[in-house]
Amino acid sequence: MTAHLDTIDTPDGPFTVLADGHQRVLASGWTADPEAILGRLRPRERPEQVVEGRVAALDAVHAYYAGDLAAIDEVQVSQSGTTGQLAGWRGLRRIAPGAPLTYAQFAAELGGERAVRAAASVCARNAAALFVPCHRVLRTGGALGGFAWGLEIKRSLLARERAALPAGPVVPSGR
């Protein structure tokens, strides 16, 4: 498979997307280093060839940073994983901007409130950062927890999403 790689500048630094020939996101993140993006994929998932070229998903990234938080929702993503991981990544895409969940809440959304470690693993193994918004999952008590691209970026994304919401009470996702 040949994949396309493209990078743009964002307020949080360079953002790179690796997409397949159908423009589905394989991996993405806040770096200009192609090896860091490829490193998010398991060896057997890596494309045979990577070429620099336009990746349509970056239009959604521009729109997201311009305030259209829903722009990333329609971007197609292609990730390989276990049945549980695939369900988890679909679940992450259902978490509304500005309404983060704790790992325990996310585990409960997936049907196993005691499976907090599995929920954290789903987030950690997510290669399609932003499009599969693992940054919207926090530790119990609201601490940020981990994020592959750094806690400053996670903090920035959460603040951006919170600020874009209309005034009023925030209703947690999935409730």
- The verdict on whether 123 is a catalytic residue reads no
Q: Which residues contact 151 (CB under 8 A, 6 or more apart)?
A: 144
Cα–Cα distance between 93 and 168 in angstroms, integer? 23
> Is 60:6 a contact under the CB 8 Å cutoff?
no
> Is 127:41 a contact under the CB 8 Å cutoff?
yes
Please choose, from the candidates 63, 52, 6, the residue with its C-alpha nearest in 3D space to the C-alpha of residue 31.
6
**Rounded (10°) CA dihedral 83, 44, 120, 6:** -110
Neighbours of 134 (CB within 10 A): 26
Q: Which residues contact 119 (CB under 8 A, 6 or more apart)?
A: 88, 103, 104, 106, 107, 110, 137
Q: Which of 134, 137, 138, 157 is catalytic?
A: 134
Which residues are catalytically annotated?
134
